[in-house]
Amino acid sequence: MRIFYALTGPPGCGKTTAILRIVNELKKRGVRVEGMYTQELREGGRRIGFIIKRITGGEGTLAHVRFREGPRLGRYVVNLRDLEAIGVSALMDGLKEAEVIVVDEVGPMELFSQRFREAVEQLISSDKNAIITVHYRSRDPLVIKVKKTAGKNLIILNRENRDQIPAIIVKNVVEAIRGR
Are residues 84 and 70 in contact, defined by beta-carbon separation less than 8 angstroms?
A: no
> Does residue 153 lie within any of the structural domains?
yes
> Does residue 10 lie within any of the structural domains?
yes
> Does residue 43 lie within any of the structural domains?
no
Helix (H) or strand (E) holding 8: strand 4-8
Q: Which residues, 6+ apart, have CB-to-CB distance to 48 below 8 Å?
A: 41, 42, 64, 65, 66
Separation between Cα atoms, residue 76 and residue 97, nearest integer Å: 33
Name the domain count of the chain: 1
> Does residue 126 lie within any of the structural domains?
yes
In this predicted structure, the answer to whether residue 179 has a pLDDT above a threshold of 90 is no
> Does residue 40 lie within any of the structural domains?
no
Q: What is the mean pLDDT of residues 149-174?
A: 97
Instruction: Residue 25: give the domain boundaries.
Output: 4-35+90-178
pLDDT, tens digit, for every residue of 116-145?
999 999 999 999 999 999 999 999 999 999
Q: Mean pLDDT in the chain? A: 97
> Does residue 160 lie within any of the structural domains?
yes
The secondary structure of residue 68, as a DSSP letter, is -
pLDDT tier, 12 (very low <50, low <70, confident <90, very high otherwise): confident
> Does residue 147 lie within any of the structural domains?
yes
Q: What is the mean pLDDT of residues 7-23?
A: 95
Tell me the CATH number at 24: 3.40.50.300
So what's the pLDDT on residue 180? Answer: 60
> Does residue 41 lie within any of the structural domains?
no
